[in-house]
Amino acid sequence: MRAREPETILAKKRCNLVAGRPTWAEIDLDRIAHNLDVIRDRCGGHVQVLGVVKADAYGHGAVSIAHALARAGVERLGVASIAEAMELRQAGVTLPIVVLAGNYHQAEQLLQQNHLEPVIFRHEVLDALEASMDRNGDPLAVHVKVDTGMGRLGCALSEVESLVDRVQRSPLFSLAGVMSHFARASEVGPQTAQQFSEFTKCLEKSRWQGSLRHCANSAAIFADADYHLDMIRPGLCLYGVDPFESASDGRLLPVLSWWTRINTIRELPAGAAVGYGGRWVSRRPTRMGILPVGYADGYPWASEGRAEVVVRGQRVPVIGAISMDMTAVDLTDLVEVSELDPVALLGGDSGKAIGAKELSRWSGRLVYELLCGIGPRVTRVYRAGGLRQTGVLDLRVIQS
């Protein structure tokens, strides 16, 4: 994905003036649709898809991603909180939205009013919902969550039958699904198979018929077809990060690339120290570039001494301590380079692109953490169907 400076500046939540500080993320919405096709090929057409867009769609921008997924045909979306769901509803997203994190305190009425689907994991949650619901309103669709080994939210295996039965008998609720979540799906070992076995056993004892059974996250989708059941919950793989090294045979494409431009070039003599602490010292005359990006933008401070970026199709090393707002790179080995040249921090020219897993290894941070941590000072620029726009891109404006 090559860099182009954004042409349009819109006053949106996650925008800044790129002309004043040229650091931006390019999000290719056509690749979202492509990755969804890869995932559907893995699962078959009978399996529904809940696209996970929590945490601002892993830093990609929840509203634009949600519209892209709706256009591509997902059946549901998943968010962490009612606030995240309300952002989508206010932006015109009409798909069913599952609120995954289980915190509804003092906001229960919003679930029913906005046709949101909460995750239920104990009777006390149902008690609170019943107390706040409009008896004349539509029944509230819910998903009962079972703890099969994750150890967070979820009812005990012994409680599944009573929770499901209560939901099925109540005129206030409808049972949309019964779900669980794997703790170690990306690891080789028996734990995930054991969790799945526990989940299927509890389903045999409950009246789940007519609802969706779901437990597969990104790793589980590619680990074993048995885990797909009625619906899958892809997150990271939607954004083009393979949960294993080659589970998708390279078909998943990264959706986000992160760019900046060289602000200043300086010539340093041998023996010059760069950055806080002076930990990097030039061993030769060095051409140094200063980039207007730092850890306040989400670029990982802990990648010092290991990270690389791409300039003019070549990788160059990051040097010195990464600052809050600036990062230094060694440009000495480039034949040609100029101020304002684009620099790929993540992604970039094919063959030399910086992968999310690579940056993760350099920094010791999870890929999830890196993507979610790309901050609000980094302008999001969306591309789809020949359109390119800074700020939210609603794919409903593109005719099918």
What the chain holds in terms of domains, given with CATH numbers, is: 29-238 (3.20.20.10), 256-376 (2.40.37.10)
205 is a catalytic site residue: no
Please list the residues that pair with 261 across neighbouring strands: 342
Task: Compute and round to an integer the Cα radius of gyration of the chain.
Answer: 23
Closest CA to 344 of 307, 382, 301, 375: 307
More confident residue, 17 or 30: 30
pLDDT band at 396 (very low <50, low <70, confident <90, very high): low
276 is a catalytic site residue: yes
Give pLDDT, residue 19.
Answer: 57
pLDDT band at 386 (very low <50, low <70, confident <90, very high): confident
Of 86-100, 191-205, 274-288, 293-307, minimum mean pLDDT range = 191-205
Residue 196 scores a pLDDT above 90: yes
Rounded Cα distance between 380 and 190, Å, is: 41
Segment 214-217 long-range contacts (CB within 8 Å, at least 24 positions apart):
214/50, 214/143, 214/177, 214/178, 214/179, 215/148, 215/179, 215/180, 215/181, 215/182, 216/182, 216/185, 217/181, 217/182, 217/185
Catalytic residue among 13, 201, 205, 276: 276
- Interacting residues of 6 by C-beta distance below 8 A, sequence separation 6+: 18, 24, 379, 381, 388, 389, 390
More confident residue, 211 or 7: 211
pLDDT tens for 26-53 read 999 999 999 999 999 999 889 999 999 9
Residue 236 scores a pLDDT above 90: yes
**Taking residues 78-107, what's their average pLDDT?**
96
Give pLDDT, residue 8.
Answer: 35
Give pLDDT, residue 10.
Answer: 31
Q: Is 328 left (phi over 0), alpha (psi -120 to 50) or beta?
A: beta
Residue 13 scores a pLDDT above 60: no
pLDDT tens for 105-115 read 889 999 999 99
pLDDT tens for 243-256 read 987 666 889 999 99
Element (H, E) at 382: strand 379-384
pLDDT tens for 138-178 read 999 999 999 999 999 999 999 999 999 999 999 999 999 99
Rounded Cα distance between 316 and 179, Å, is: 46
Give pLDDT, residue 2.
Answer: 56
Residue 81 scores a pLDDT above 70: yes
Spatial contact of 216 and 180, defined as CB atoms under 8 Å apart: no
In degrees and rounded to multiples of 5, residue 334 shows phi and psi of: -85, 135
Residue 11 scores a pLDDT above 60: no
Give percent helix, percent strand, percent coil of the chain, each to the nearest 5.
30, 25, 45
**Taking residues 92-96, what's their average pLDDT?**
98
